[in-house]
Amino acid sequence: MGGNGQQMKPPGGGRRQRRLRRRRLKLGPAQADAAMEPSPWRMQHHPLDEDGPALSRAQISNKDGAGPASYPMRATDTVQALLNKGRIDDHAAAGAQKFEAIFQRASLSGLASRDIRRIAGPFNPGHNEPYGILRARDDVWEAMRALGGINTPGASIAWDVLGLGITIKAHAERCQFGNGRSLNPMTATGILVQSCFTLAVHFGK
């Protein structure tokens, strides 16, 4: 606080903002946007293990239309990345997202899940799981059966990638064969693509 009761600004803050504005005007919109791209260490991780980043620029327009649109960098999930690359269509993406929603509702994420036995309520004394969660688990089991069974490649990758939210590369490394070799990430991507289409048929998307 200053002597007159006003909050003091950090030294150099205003000058830095003015320099950034002058630089943007000097470079022009296209070059300025390129200068604002995320750093290389942010772009080195991507969900499909290909030459594409896990971050993408999203456009958000102001609802009142008074100001310019913003273009923040957002992380893209695996299903959205497959859709953007043309690997799956809207129906397959909807089926995969339906499975993701049911899996989350079923509270099957291990330690990340809440203890549903402690949820208080007039119809839940504490020792019974809510009916909605049990129904969601039945739906997950039916989806696993539609994918060929819990131990099949299609059901396994749907459980890991769509359900638990791990990357395709991490799932491929977890799949060990008899000679100790892990699954190729591109092969795992193809299995996931087929699983998305199967889920679309299963859920009627």
What is the arithmetic mean of pLDDT over 111-132? 57
Most confident of 27-31, 59-63, 143-147, 149-153: 143-147
What is the arithmetic mean of pLDDT over 75-103? 91
pTM of this prediction exceeds 0.75: no
Would you list the domain boundaries of the chain? 13-76, 81-203
pLDDT of residue 96: 96
Sign of CA dihedral 180, 189, 196, 114: positive
- Phi and psi of 186, rounded to 5°? -70, -35
Q: List Cβ neighbours of 113 (8 Å cut-off, separation of 6 or more).
A: 107
* Other residues' Cβ atoms within 10 Å of the Cβ of residue 22: 10
Mean pLDDT (the chain) is 76
SS3 call for 68: coil
| pLDDT > 50? residue 51 | no
Higher pLDDT among residues 35 and 142, named by residue:
142
Across 97-106, 155-164, 173-182, 191-200, least confident range: 173-182
Rounded to whole angstroms, how far apart are CA atoms 199 and 179? 31
Structure tokens at 38: 């995320």
Strands 55-57 and 73-75: antiparallel
pLDDT tens, 126-166? 445 678 888 999 999 999 999 999 889 999 999 999 998 88
**Helices (DSSP H) in the chain: which residue ranges?**
13-27, 29-35, 40-43, 78-84, 90-105, 131-146, 153-157, 168-174, 185-203
With cut-offs at 50, 70 and 90, classify the pLDDT of residue 91: very high
SS3 call for 63: coil
